[in-house]
A and B are shown apart, each in its own frame.
Chain A
């Protein structure tokens, strides 16, 4: 039973042959290659990011240990850290997000692609950009701006790929048949439009025609705030809005809450960036506006959280069997908690103590590793078997992935929150010298190093599962799966008719 939980074919579909891909709808067939290409790229960059994450975690813990490669410039912390972050955000997160976005859009529209090559070229451009960008950072040729470290030439290549995908996505959504647009489509329209705009503006204003002075950090952090709130968040929410009702078999609880959640995000999401620069050399109103937007972001977050919760109410049992659902629901729960925490630490009185500390680090990591990645893992676990008509091997691996992630994140949360607060109070006390603050942090950095191991193991497990399903397919297994699938399909059909 567990094995079939991944696959919910279109109820009513007839499955005859097994490895025959003709049961994929035309639209699924057309986007199959691009989606798998983006997923594959995402997994590749996840592995690279994980390696550098482990390295950079070790390096701030014991910078002189031989296994942190001291003395080698291109592996030093100042380069391994941005490589990790950029590979994670622009490699794993963006590629898997684009892949999921493409797949989701294909569920709502007529055959979206005559030929898959347009999107695959976009993907290739993206990967070329990523590779040159990573090599540039390692060589020391960076822009010195957080999350915009790739040199302008690289950013241009990346933007070309992104523009191609965004153009396709926005056209698809705008050209759909008149009628209702589903919630996920709103978020995807927003995501693709906003990210292209953000990326173009930030790289132009900072890379090609740089503005000297304090406008730079303002634009930089506007971009980073938008990257998280207006690219990663909407992609993840679009995924959750589609897959939760699908996997639970119930419609979303409230249309109005969905509206509130979306428009709240659209209104406040672009303003939250300056909360990273509280006390900085910017007019007070800009920072205050950001704090207000960040706190008011709680409204759409709570709306979305309530919506999902009320949709799932009474059906949490599904989490036991269905891996995809488990990842996605965990992700949405983390979303509410992480957004809440984010709003709290943005207020000035708390920010005074948490600003330059590990509390901001764990906040970002919770959003990236917890909220976003959990949902996207769930999406990949759901989508890939459908496209390949194969089953995941080794369910234990997927269980291990989940639990390693959850335990690792939980430990990291405790560790960096406590450590960060200690650091913050130390920094704010003028009597405590910096050396003493560093000494206090040492055990927390050690735990963080250990937690990095757990998280990296989780990610590598995922990568292995993905590689295995790509490479291995056993016909006998497929036949059995397909038969069970069609049985379940007819059961579902009866169930849904009775619900309606």
Chain B
């Protein structure tokens, strides 16, 4: 056998093994996941995302949020995410089974967002942070996402989702800051980020 053929087959098959293990295997394994049913309440977990949340995921991707925010909770033996109250249990593949875009992320310049919808249920909080991240602290690396909002004249009554702003960043009187469709979708997506339902393969942390 020609040596070059040996080289070619070696190159081909050694790589093929990794393709089998890291591409074919997860593809096949996770394709068959089903929701789990809680015997006490009959609730199915996880729930699929509503439409606006899926649109919001696209806004999340477009603005590169995943370059600074992660979305998975490590187990107790692997990190202190649970001690930090970012979640009550580790995340498992079933948590992401309905996500068309999975933003696990590999950087925590900002907080983990797996359960941000559990920690913060008020859209106003998200709007304030997105409009002016420096409400959190003067030294955050997060840019201000002002293009997810528009400043417009108050027509009669102030809008229901006008962002409550104070101080220097507040709009001039007679004007209000309202989220655009993208902004609303993004916040709906963030509000939908909850992974605190129980799953048999991921018991609640015991610390």
CB within 8 Å of B: which A45-76 residues: 59-61, 63-64, 70-71, 73, 76
Pick from A70, A266, A280: contact of B14, CB under 8 Å: A266
Pick from B10, B17, B27, B64: contact of A215, CB under 8 Å: B27
Pick from B2, B61, B74, B142: contact of A279, CB under 8 Å: B74
- A475 proximal to B (CB < 8 A): no
Task: Report chain A residues within 8 Å CB of B97.
Answer: 212-214
Interface string of A253-295 (1 = CB under 8 A from B): 0000000000100110111011011111111001001000000
Q: Do B27 and A205 touch across chains, with their CB atoms under 8 A apart? A: yes
- Max count, chain A CB within 10 A of own CB: residue among B10, B101, B102, B137: B102
Q: Do B91 and A281 touch across chains, with their CB atoms under 8 A apart? A: yes
Q: How far apart are A158's CB and chain B's nearest CB, in angstroms?
A: 19
Q: Do B78 and A186 touch across chains, with their CB atoms under 8 A apart? A: no
Q: Do B107 and A76 touch across chains, with their CB atoms under 8 A apart? A: no
Bound CA span A99–B19, Å: 27
Given A142-B61, A213-B30, A428-B80; A279-B72 close (CB under 8 Å) = yes
Task: Report chain A residues within 8 Å CB of B181.
Answer: none
Q: Do B110 and A434 touch across chains, with their CB atoms under 8 A apart? A: yes
Task: Report chain A residues within 8 Å CB of B33.
Answer: 213
Q: Do B72 and A280 touch across chains, with their CB atoms under 8 A apart? A: yes
Given A218-B26, A278-B78; A174-B8 close (CB under 8 Å) = yes
Bound CA span A210–B104, Å: 16
Task: Report chain A residues within 8 Å CB of B11.
Answer: 186, 189-190, 193-194, 266
Q: Do A214 and B19 touch across chains, with their CB atoms under 8 A apart? A: no
Task: Report chain A residues within 8 Å CB of B65.
Answer: 78
Given A212-B100, A218-B22; A282-B93 close (CB under 8 Å) = yes
Interface string of B94-136 (1 = CB under 8 A from A): 0111111111111111110000000000000000000001101
Task: Report chain A residues within 8 Å CB of B4.
Answer: 173-174, 176, 178, 181
- A493 proximal to B (CB < 8 A): no
- A77 proximal to B (CB < 8 A): yes
Bound CA span A281–B58, Å: 22
Bound CA span A355–B3, Å: 42
Bound CA span A64–B145, Å: 11
Given A70-B143, A430-B84; A214-B30 close (CB under 8 Å) = yes
Task: Report chain A residues within 8 Å CB of B63.
Answer: 73, 76, 78-79, 140
- B70 proximal to A (CB < 8 A): yes
Pick from A193, A216, A356: contact of B70, CB under 8 Å: A356
A interface secondary structure, majority: helix
Task: Report chain A residues within 8 Å CB of B60.
Answer: 144
Bound CA span A435–B70, Å: 16
- Max count, chain A CB within 10 A of own CB: residue among B99, B107, B146: B107
Bound CA span A352–B74, Å: 9
Q: Do B19 and A438 touch across chains, with their CB atoms under 8 A apart? A: no
CB within 8 Å of B: which A342-372 residues: 348, 352, 355-357, 360-361
Task: Report chain B residues within 8 Å CB of A27.
Answer: none
Pick from A186, A213, A278, A356: contact of B107, CB under 8 Å: A356
- B62 proximal to A (CB < 8 A): yes
Interface string of B1-34 (1 = CB under 8 A from A): 0111001101110110111011101110111010
Q: Do A63 and B143 touch across chains, with their CB atoms under 8 A apart? A: yes
Q: Do B99 and A212 touch across chains, with their CB atoms under 8 A apart? A: yes
Task: Report chain B residues within 8 Å CB of A194.
Answer: 11, 15
- B43 proximal to A (CB < 8 A): no
Q: Do A60 and B109 touch across chains, with their CB atoms under 8 A apart? A: yes
Q: Do A271 and B18 touch across chains, with their CB atoms under 8 A apart? A: yes
CB within 8 Å of A: which B24-75 residues: 25-27, 29-31, 33, 57-58, 60-67, 70, 72, 74-75
Q: Do A219 and B22 touch across chains, with their CB atoms under 8 A apart? A: yes
Q: Given contacts A176-B4, A212-B100, A270-B15, list 20 more A-B pairs with CB under 8 A.
A: A59-B141, A71-B147, A146-B66, A146-B106, A173-B4, A180-B3, A181-B4, A193-B12, A212-B97, A213-B30, A214-B97, A270-B17, A279-B75, A281-B90, A281-B95, A281-B96, A355-B106, A427-B80, A427-B84, A439-B139
Instruction: List 6 A-B residue pairs with CB atoms under 8 Å apart, sorted by A's residue number.
Output: A140-B62, A142-B61, A144-B60, A144-B103, A279-B74, A438-B137
